[in-house]
Structure 1
């Protein structure tokens, strides 16, 4: 069984930053590495489910024309919406995957620090929907804490194994440290575009 919505509502009831995204060096460094791992300077449309209070969302919004964020906590949606007010192309919705799957296609889908909250069965349903939601050049980036988390149905190793098993794409990046693993799968596994202009 996946963790219920009220688990996250309770976390945000006690703090606007329950995982200390804004203050922990680990979180700041991981965000920097996540953004540095993206091979394209800019994306047309990005989807970030599980956006929490929008700390990573803010950085993603600077790298794309349109950003769709989603979280199951109403308070998280409110906080992320406030953070992204300056970006006309950013939208934050309340919802939970796989049930509340958004319409349209994306160049990039970011799965950061939430897959292990789902059961393997539910996360497999999420993974199986990813391919159909990507553009022809689309990519999936996943990053997760590698240590066990009490009450979670999975760990990072299991979640990333399901991504690797069910995504019909080539894995183009893998970065593993003691604390987290960062991977990317791409439909068109080309390298860095050396001719891409800095904006």
Structure 2
């Protein structure tokens, strides 16, 4: 069974930064590596489900023309909206995924620390909806903490293996860090150098 919304509501009721995104060097380093993994300097449209308090969202916003974020916890949505006030092209919705997947097409979908909260069936549906919501040259980035998390139905390894199997897209970048997995899949498998005519 996927982790239910009240779990996240409780986390944010006790702390506006329950995972210490702002304080921990681990988190700041991971965000920097996530952004560095992206093969394009800018995207027309990015979707970040499970945005929490909007720390990664804040760094994705300058890289796109339109940013849509969502979270299942109402407090997280309020925090992310406040974090993104300086970006009129950014929108934050309260959605429970995969049921409430948004309309529209996205050049980049970012699954950061989300997949292992979903059971196998919900993850399968989420990937199906991500595939349907990606543009013809769209990309999907996934980043997940490797240590087991109590109450989570899946591990980072299971989530990334399922993504690799179900996406049917070229994995254009990958980082096997001792603490987290970070992968970028693209419908257009062209490398950065080749895209710029260097190869």
TM-score (normalised: structure 2): 0.96
State the 1:168 CA deviation.
2.0
Q: In the alignment, which residue of structure 2 is the partner of 1:40?
A: 40
Note the aligned Cα RMSD (angstroms).
0.9
Q: In the alignment, which residue of structure 2 is the partner of 1:28?
A: 28
SS in 1 for 2:56: helix
Which 4+ residue blocks in structure 1 deviate beyond 2 angstroms?
none
Q: In the alignment, which residue of structure 2 is the partner of 1:62?
A: 62
- Written as runs of structure 1 = structure 2, the 5 A alignment for 1:30-109 is 30-109=30-109
Gaps of 5+ in 1: none
The total of aligned residue pairs comes to 195
Q: Please give the alpha-carbon distance, in whole angstroms, between the structure 2 residues aligned to 1:61 and 1:174.
A: 23
Q: Please give the alpha-carbon distance, in whole angstroms, between the structure 2 residues aligned to 1:16 and 1:33.
A: 24
Q: In the alignment, which residue of structure 1 is the partner of 2:157?
A: 157
Q: Please give the alpha-carbon distance, in whole angstroms, between the structure 2 residues aligned to 1:69 and 1:63.
A: 14
Q: Please give the alpha-carbon distance, in whole angstroms, between the structure 2 residues aligned to 1:60 and 1:148.
A: 27
Gaps of 5+ in 2: none
State the 1:19 CA deviation.
0.1
1:139 aligns with 2:139: yes
SS in 2 for 1:60: helix
Q: In the alignment, which residue of structure 2 is the partner of 1:194?
A: 196
Q: Comparing 160-169 with 23-32, which one deviates more in the overlay?
A: 160-169
State the 1:100 CA deviation.
0.4
Q: Please give the alpha-carbon distance, in whole angstroms, between the structure 2 residues aligned to 1:22 and 1:142.
A: 20
Q: Please give the alpha-carbon distance, in whole angstroms, between the structure 1 residues aligned to 2:196 and 2:14.
A: 46
Q: In the alignment, which residue of structure 2 is the partner of 1:167?
A: 167
State the 1:174 CA deviation.
1.1
State the 1:121 CA deviation.
1.1
TM-score (normalised: structure 1): 0.96
State the 1:79 CA deviation.
0.3
Deviations 1:101-126 (A, max 9, x none): 10010000000001100101110111
- Written as runs of structure 1 = structure 2, the 5 A alignment for 1:125-136 is 125-136=125-136
8 A contact 1:45–1:64 mirrored in 2: yes
State the 1:194 CA deviation.
3.3
Q: Please give the alpha-carbon distance, in whole angstroms, between the structure 1 residues aligned to 2:9 and 2:62.
A: 28
SS in 2 for 1:45: strand
